[in-house]
């Protein structure tokens, strides 16, 4: 149970390092086998034909080492096979973890995408309603006898304001570019209209006040020596 848990915690890189280490040991074992086989060829004749005791002792050493090496080789082969299996398992775990991470990020992005779409729809609906109100108000102002702003002015400046706003959106290439000198903002030109209309609305009232003050107020206390109230000549 503990071994299985440790296996799952291995990264693909760590698992591959173990494979490399085991294969390196297997290669070293193969080298010792080749070395012993070369030595075996040189001492076998003396050991068997001449019964050379030294050669016989050395032969027994090589044989014992060969048996141990064979067992070591088998165990290494089994270890390498298991290590490679763990590499595959670690790679699969890493791929699954990456897929989970991507899935979570994608779901988060989908939520953001929905919110952005909703924001765009709400903004466009607000813009449509606001622009319709502006059009209606201008018509009512004109109906009261004020000759500006006109519907044509509203359409011209409004169209420039829309194109100006689109410059900073992802859809800018889909619309005709507007030079900086022609760019407008609704709040800017509407503010100027309001100032002009306020003055026009106030002008008749100010004229009446000025006429009243000029005709009916007694200005004698304010006259300097030598000044004459000209109203008595009318």
How confident is the prediction along the chain (234 residues), in pLDDT tens digits per residue?
Answer: 444 444 446 777 887 888 888 888 888 878 888 877 777 777 776 677 677 788 778 878 888 878 888 888 888 888 888 888 888 888 888 888 899 999 999 999 999 999 999 999 999 999 999 999 999 999 999 999 988 899 999 999 999 999 999 998 988 888 888 999 999 999 999 999 999 988 888 766 666 566 666 666 666 666 677 666 665 555
Asked if 37 and 101 sit in the same domain, the reply is yes
Beta carbons of 3 and 86 less than 8 angstroms apart: no
Is residue 71 in some structural domain? Answer: yes
Asked if 203 and 153 sit in the same domain, the reply is yes
Asked if 163 and 88 sit in the same domain, the reply is no
Let me know the angle formed at the C-alpha of 33 by 30 and 37, rounded to the nearest 5 degrees: 145
Is residue 220 in some structural domain? Answer: yes
Closest CA to 179 of 194, 191, 163: 163
Is residue 182 in some structural domain? Answer: yes
Asked if 18 and 91 sit in the same domain, the reply is yes
Domain boundary among 106, 128, 156: 106
Is residue 116 in some structural domain? Answer: no
Upstream peptide bond of 149 is cis (omega within 30 degrees of 0): yes
DSSP labels, 118-172: HHHHHHHHHHHHHHHHHHHHHHHHHHTT---S-HHHHHHHHHHHHHHHHTTSTTG
Is residue 169 in some structural domain? Answer: yes
Asked if 18 and 101 sit in the same domain, the reply is yes
Domain count, the chain: 2
Domain boundary among 106, 135, 163: 106
Give the HSE-up count for residue 180: Cα atoms under 13 Å, Cβ half-sphere: 0
Phi/psi for 148 (5° steps) reads -145, 155
Asked if 102 and 9 sit in the same domain, the reply is yes
Query: Residue 164's domain spans which residues?
Result: 146-233
Domain boundary among 51, 74, 106: 106
Q: From CA 162, how far away is CA 210, in angstroms rounded?
A: 43
Is residue 40 in some structural domain? Answer: yes
Beta carbons of 47 and 56 less than 8 angstroms apart: yes
Give the HSE-up count for residue 232: Cα atoms under 13 Å, Cβ half-sphere: 6
């Amino acid at each position: 149970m503990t071994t299985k848990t440790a296996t799952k915690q291995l990264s693909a890189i760590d698992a591959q390092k173990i494979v490399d280490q085991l294969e390196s040991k297997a290669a070293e074992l193969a080298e010792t086998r080749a070395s012993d086989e070369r030595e075996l060829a040189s001492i076998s004749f003396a050991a068997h034909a001449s019964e050379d005791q030294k050669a016989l002792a050395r032969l027994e050493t090589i044989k014992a080492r060969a048996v141990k090496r064979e067992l070591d080789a088998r165990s290494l082969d089994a270890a390498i096979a298991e290590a490679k299996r763990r590499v595959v398992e670690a790679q699969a775990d890493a791929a699954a973890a990456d897929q989970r991470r991507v899935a979570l990020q994608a779901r988060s992005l989908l939520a953001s995408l929905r919110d952005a779409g909703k924001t765009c729809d709400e903004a466009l609906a607000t813009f449509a309603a606001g622009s319709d109100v502006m059009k209606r108000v201008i018509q009512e102002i004109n109906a009261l006898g004020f000759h500006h702003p006109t519907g044509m002015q509203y359409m011209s400046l409004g169209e420039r304001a829309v194109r100006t706003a689109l410059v900073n959106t992802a859809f800018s290439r889909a619309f005709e570019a507007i030079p900086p000198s022609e760019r407008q903002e609704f709040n800017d030109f509407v503010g100027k209209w309001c100032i002009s209309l306020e003055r026009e609305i106030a002008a008749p009232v100010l004229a009446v006040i000025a006429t009243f003050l000029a005709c009916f107020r007694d200005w004698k206390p304010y006259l300097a020596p030598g000044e004459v109230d000209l109203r008595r000549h009318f």
